[in-house]
Amino acid sequence: MTKIRSSHVVIVGAGGVGSWAAVMLVRSGVRKIRIIDFDQVTLSSLNRHATAGLIDVGTQKVKCIAKALKQMCRWVEVETVNDLWTKENGGSMLEGADWVIDAIDNIQTKVDLLKYCHDHGLKVFSSMGAGAKCDPTRIQISDISSTVYDPLARSVRRRLRLLGVNSGIPVVYSTEVPGDVKLLPLPEEEFQKGPVKELGAFDDFRVRILPVLGPLPAIFGLNAATYILCELAGKPISNPLPIKNRRKLYERMHRNLLHRESKLSGEQLNRLPIDEDDVGLIFEDLYRGRSAVPPHEVPQRPTIVKWDFRKPITIDNCVVFEYKDAEKHAKACWSPTGDHVDPDSIWEEAVQDTVKRRAEEARKVMEWVM
């Protein structure tokens, strides 16, 4: 407890994630907190902010959190910085930090902060995208290099690699792939006023809102606080479990698909266009862990097979069957002469409709994450 009480944590971003992280760090004993954010409390942020109420709308987010923290714990030392963190002037803002929490929602600023911490040996924990998510069971902690199916994490990871940072940054993220999600519309009258980008507080910051379910940023913030508290206490979370702990299942399904494709092609294939993560996406997210054949039961021996053998293997051209149905499908649709059969002529309309719906979902997923 002494280590926690003597620690100093800097939180960059005082929104839904950052505010919840701050509250739980202080409630757990962290004595010194510095909170950095340029923004003000808005009506749209009240559904997810840990300390803000109607009376706080229009006030600085950092001041709002500081006031609440002082009410929770009189001995806490809270320093507020009502400014935008930038790589040009942000070094002094991070001085003395034992840990830094990145709760920024602007990609370039996030990348700049993570790169700065990496280069200067500062321990940093980063929060990826909590917007447009609703499934708390898909949230996990991992290294930035191991993240999958999170568009923000993907973009951050790519940019960091270009800057020479490949790993070593713990993050909280969700493997959930949202459906048809877009920024909430801006009223037409705002477009009539002139260039929309001028409505933002700073250049390159969005002026429209991505739908956010209130509890999700809180869970992200609690994950960040928990990870750092365990690190400070000398009890690190050294081996976070993967989502649903079903990696071996995905590996087996992928291996069986590779074996089937090798057998049908008559040559030994070393790899497929899809990997184990894609198999998990197909099985869990697209087919909900169920067979495409009505009544869509949970397969005892789940098998992924190419739907249309006239086309290459892609996420939207794979289907989940019970093993015996997969064998039936391959035998009926594949031809050694290359004259493969249209699967629509083999399966009843209910199966066709299911596969078409899942394929359409897959294409939306690929647009979202690629």
**pLDDT tens figures, 256-313:** 999 999 998 888 989 999 998 889 889 988 998 899 999 999 899 999 999 999 999 9
Cβ neighbourhood burial of 205 (10 Å; 0-12, 13-18, 19+): middle
Return the closest-CA partner of residue 37 out of 8, 9, 63.
Answer: 63
Asked if 154 and 108 count as a contact pair (C-beta separation under 8 A), the reply is: no
Listing from the earlier edge strand, what are the strands of the sheet with 170-174?
Answer: 77-81, 32-36, 8-12, 99-102, 124-127, 170-174, 139-143
pLDDT digit string, tens, across residues 48-81: 999 999 999 999 999 999 999 999 999 999 999 9
For 116-141, what is the mean pLDDT? 92
197 pLDDT more than 60:
no
Task: Based on DSSP, count helices (H) and strands (E) in the chain, helices before strands.
Answer: 11, 9
User: Token pair 């996406």 is at which residue?
Assistant: 281
Amino acid at site 203: D
**Of the candidate ranges 33-37, 88-92, 323-327, the one whose mean pLDDT is the lowest:** 88-92
User: Token pair 């998990």 is at which residue?
Assistant: 280
Distance CA 51, CA 15 (A): 10
Strands (E), the chain: 8-12, 32-36, 77-81, 99-102, 124-127, 139-143, 170-174, 302-306, 318-322
124 pLDDT more than 80:
yes
For 317-335, what is the mean pLDDT? 95
Q: How many CA atoms lie within 13 A of 222 on its CB side?
A: 10
**Of the candidate ranges 48-52, 60-64, 206-210, 351-355, the one whose mean pLDDT is the lowest:** 206-210
Q: How many CA atoms lie within 13 A of 257 on its CB side?
A: 33
Report the SS3 class of residue 281: helix
Asked if 140 and 241 count as a contact pair (C-beta separation under 8 A), the reply is: yes
Mean of the per-residue pLDDT values of the chain: 88
pLDDT digit string, tens, across residues 135-169: 898 899 999 988 877 888 888 998 999 999 999 99
Ramachandran region, residue 212 (left: φ > 0; alpha: ψ -120 to 50; beta: rest): beta
Amino acid at site 107: I
- Residues of the chain with pLDDT > 70: what percent? 88
Distance CA 14, CA 37 (A): 6
- Per-residue pLDDT band for 178 (boundaries 50, 70, 90) equals low
Amino acid at site 167: S
Within 10 angstroms of residue 367's Cβ, the number of other Cβ atoms is 9
15 pLDDT more than 80:
yes
Reduce the secondary structure of 160-180 to three states and give it as a string: HHHCCCCCCCEEEEECCCCCC
